């Protein structure tokens, strides 16, 4: 089991010891016994105990007096006990009734809270961990700012970034390995919600100390030097190579990886090009002194989307985190444009 909001939410997670205890309790529960229990009768019992009068109890319950009398007969049959004795001071409870009221009142209050009051999320107080699926470039682009904001607003909320490539994100969500995902893949399923956030393109980066060229970047310059390629399936070609082929040229890919994190180190040491999501470019140029330009051939844009399971549609914590991610991405995109 992973340790995130889904199976690992600290509000709901069962430790192994608690799970064993729950299993033991469940084995003691006989469903046939509960068939005999009508919660409405227990409500009548509590109100009768408080009012000590059938007419007044009927008024509080918005029932007729005959209905309350019938409920009392059923209660006496269920508990095999008189429950109330008629006196000059009203319907007096028996000692057994007092014991039942003492035990039932907190149980009924707890049941009311569970059934009628859906759990709320308080970011200032609640302690939980979100498992968010993403590729490493999305983590690099978003997580420092997202975590900084959450540390200010939700001091006990943690994030576990789970490396998830676009081809595996659906199964990760369906298997409850992540709570939600930020992805560039088109994959989805009928069990998931998919929300498109934006479409973005690519730019080509290089180190001017390794490659001495002037902009704009031409196709001839582009294919003259070797390339780094990110591929989640280990392929040595991408859609860009199809565009180069149509232009009658080809490039040499020197290195293929599924991780973006090593690209800046390689660009700094070797005369190589790397074509990356444009949202990374400003930061990498500022940090590493790289140059960038538009890709000199057609490169299809990618779609950035949020994915989450439909069973989280009403979960307050998940909705809060989704909104935080939306706001951050919108802010970062507006700064680029």
Q: DSSP letter string over 189-222?
A: -TTEEEEEEEEE-EEEEE-TTT----SSPPHHHH
Report whether pLDDT(17) > 50. Answer: yes
Q: Whole-angstrom Cα distance, residue 275 to residue 298?
A: 12
pLDDT over 70 for what percent of the chain?
88
Q: What is the pLDDT of residue 36?
A: 64
Where does the pLDDT of residue 126 fall: very low under 50, low under 70, confident under 90, or very high at 90 and above? very high
Beta strands in the chain (DSSP E): 84-87, 90-93, 128-134, 157-163, 180-183, 192-200, 202-206, 226-230, 253-257, 272-277, 291-294, 302-309
Report whether pLDDT(10) > 50. Answer: no
Report whether pLDDT(31) > 80. Answer: no
Question: In the sheet that 302-309 helps form, which strands lie side by side, from edge to edge?
Answer: 157-163, 128-134, 180-183, 302-309, 192-200
Summarize the confidence of residues 213-240 as an average pLDDT. 92
139 vs 27: which has the higher pLDDT: 139
**295: which 2 tokens?**
């890709």
The secondary structure element, H or E, covering residue 164 is none
| Structural contact between residues 125 and 156, judged by C-beta atoms closer than 8 angstroms | yes
Report whether pLDDT(27) > 80. Answer: no
Mean of all residue pLDDT scores within the chain = 87
Q: What is the pLDDT of residue 226?
A: 97
| Structural contact between residues 38 and 194, judged by C-beta atoms closer than 8 angstroms | no
Report whether pLDDT(67) > 90. Answer: yes
Summarize the confidence of residues 133-161 as an average pLDDT. 95
Q: Which residues contact 160 (CB under 8 A, 6 or more apart)?
A: 2, 3, 4, 129, 130, 131, 132
**171: which 2 tokens?**
């199964």
Q: Which of 11-20, 100-109, 144-153 has the highest mean pLDDT?
A: 144-153
Q: What is the pLDDT of residue 24?
A: 55
Q: Which residues contact 108 (CB under 8 A, 6 or more apart)?
A: 39, 42, 43, 46
What's the longest Cα–Cα distance across the chain? Answer: 106
Nearest CA among 200, 261, 203, 199 for reference residue 230: 261
Lowest-confidence region among 34-48, 257-271, 297-311: 34-48
Summarize the confidence of residues 191-215 as an average pLDDT. 95
Q: Which residues contact 129 (CB under 8 A, 6 or more apart)?
A: 3, 4, 5, 8, 9, 10, 157, 158, 159, 160
How confident is the model over 148-187, as pLDDT tens digits?
999 999 999 999 999 988 888 999 999 989 999 999 978 8
Phi, psi dihedrals of residue 157, rounded to the nearest 5°:
-95, 130
Report whether pLDDT(277) > 70. Answer: yes
Q: Whole-angstrom Cα distance, residue 91 to residue 55?
A: 11
Q: What is the pLDDT of residue 21?
A: 56
Report whether pLDDT(13) > 80. Answer: no
Summarize the confidence of residues 263-271 as an average pLDDT. 97
Report whether pLDDT(28) > 90. Answer: no
């Amino acid at each position: 089991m992973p340790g995130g909001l889904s199976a690992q939410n600290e509000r709901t997670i069962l430790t192994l010891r608690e799970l064993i205890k729950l299993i033991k309790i469940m084995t003691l529960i006989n469903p046939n016994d509960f068939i005999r229990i009508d919660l409405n009768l227990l409500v009548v019992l509590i109100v009768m105990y408080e009012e000590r009068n059938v007419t007044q109890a009927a008024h509080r319950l918005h029932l007729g007096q005959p209905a309350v009398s019938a409920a009392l007969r059923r209660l006496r049959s269920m508990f095999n006990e008189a429950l109330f004795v008629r006196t000059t001071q009203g319907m007096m409870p028996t000692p057994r009734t007092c014991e039942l009221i003492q035990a039932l009142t907190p149980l009924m209050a707890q049941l009311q809270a569970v059934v009628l009051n859906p759990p709320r999320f308080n970011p200032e107080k609640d302690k939980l961990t979100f498992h968010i699926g993403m590729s490493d470039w999305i983590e690099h682009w978003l997580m420092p700012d997202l975590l900084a904001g959450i540390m200010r607003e939700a001091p006990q909320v943690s994030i576990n970034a789970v490396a998830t490539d676009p081809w595996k994100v659906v199964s990760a969500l369906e298997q409850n390995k992540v709570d939600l995902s930020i992805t560039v893949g088109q994959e989805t399923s009928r069990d998931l919600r998919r929300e498109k956030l934006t479409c973005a393109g690519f730019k080509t980066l290089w180190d001017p100390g390794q490659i001495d060229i002037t902009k704009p970047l031409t196709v001839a310059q582009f294919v003259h030097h070797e390339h780094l390629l990110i591929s989640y399936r280990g392929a040595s070609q991408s859609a860009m190579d199809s565009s180069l082929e149509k232009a009658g040229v080809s490039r040499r890919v020197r290195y293929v990886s599924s991780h973006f994190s090593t690209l800046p180190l390689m660009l700094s040491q070797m005369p190589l090009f790397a074509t990356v999501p444009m949202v990374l470019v400003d930061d990498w140029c500022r940090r590493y002194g790289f140059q960038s330009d538009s890709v000199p051939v057609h490169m299809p844009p990618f779609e950035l989307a949020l994915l989450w399971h439909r069973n989280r549609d009403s979960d307050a914590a998940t909705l809060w985190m989704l909104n935080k991610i939306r706001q951050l991405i919108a802010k970062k995109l507006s700064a680029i444009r």
